[in-house]
Amino acid sequence: MSKKIRVLIVDDSAVVRQSLSQIISNDPMLEVLGTAPDPFYAAKKIAEEVPDVITLDVEMPRMDGLTFLKKIMSQHPIPVVIISSLTEAGTKTGIRALEYGALEIITKPQMNTKQFIEESQIRICDAIKAAANSKIKRRKIIDIHEVQPKLSADVILSPLVGANSMLKTTEIVIAVGASTGGTEALTLFLKALPINCPGVVIVQHMPEKFTKSFANRLNEICKITVEEAKNGDAVLPGHALIAPGNYHTLLKRSGARYYVEVQEGPLVNRHRPSVDVLFRSTAKYAGANAVGVIMTGMGDDGARGLLEMKEAGAKTIAQDENSCIVFGMPKEAIKLGAVDKILPLEGIAPFILKPSW
């Protein structure tokens, strides 16, 4: 049996510490190494024994979580999952946490925190496992097997039946999926795109409200226009649309016009938005007029959808293992035979922009 993933819980709320401890202890692959009410106590515990993963609140006494996160990443990098009560106005803090090195962010409401944490136990445990598998560990990757039942993209969109009838045109759409480590990967990818690039639609596993702040941040630093997707938004050259957290985003087509449909629905592969949903809709409505890109992330969301894109005539790319924070989603797509090209992160944008490949 693989060694359990040891977790240090850092939160000033005794209720949160107790709830998280119970959730983590109930997972056979996880164990609670200890708890701390603030970063100073946490630092003492880390000095005694280094955890595999830290769950960290942002708003705490004596030292805030962001300051502690910066110290961890600059002095002794340890995978960190942020679990914090952040208001809509505070989503910039969450984006800052990702920039400082946090691997996952899970938001909790100001009220009914205990109930929320209990309802989010699968996502919390999955986030901890993904963090433990990140390369920041500088140790052998643990083989994590997901045991919870997962819904497929069938619950949102029926699969393709028979040959794809979408004719090849000059209008190309780029569909991108990413999860753990994806904020950094997407930043590099989108910054490399010129203003005349094909339209881009992105699913990044990220909580509700954070996607808007993430899109706004990218829009400030990229040549192209980056926005959080809204229902009915057109997919245009020089524009990238990021699926809003907690909503599935599908590519649709009306005549020569591509647009996105943003909708509610059950979790697919434990995610909403789901990469598989985006990729399947792209296969169905764009066919050979699309390029699919699967990037760093834990699990297999997007692997089957990318295969459907390839079978529909699309070109498909996977980020290579060396440049991935977590080589999960690309690895699963490669295993399925869904990938035409395996490329380092910095090589993806230039390759897509080549006149022919």
Task: Please give the positions annotated as active site.
Answer: 179, 205, 301
CB 302 within 8 A of CB 308: no
d(CA 222, CA 188): 9
The encoded tokens of residue 357 equal: 């490949």
CB 256 within 8 A of CB 172: no
Q: Which of 335, 328, 330 is nearest to 345 (CA)?
A: 330
d(CA 22, CA 253): 47
Strand order in the sheet with 53-56: 30-36, 5-10, 53-56, 80-84, 104-107
d(CA 338, CA 303): 7
Radius of gyration of the chain (CA): 20
Query: Between helices 91-100 and 182-191, what is the axis angle to 10°?
Result: 90
Per-residue DSSP letters for 129-165? HHHHTSGGG-SPPP-----S----GGGTSPPP-SS--
Q: Which of 173, 211, 188, 205 is nearest to 309 (CA)?
A: 173
Amino acid code (one letter) for 351 = F
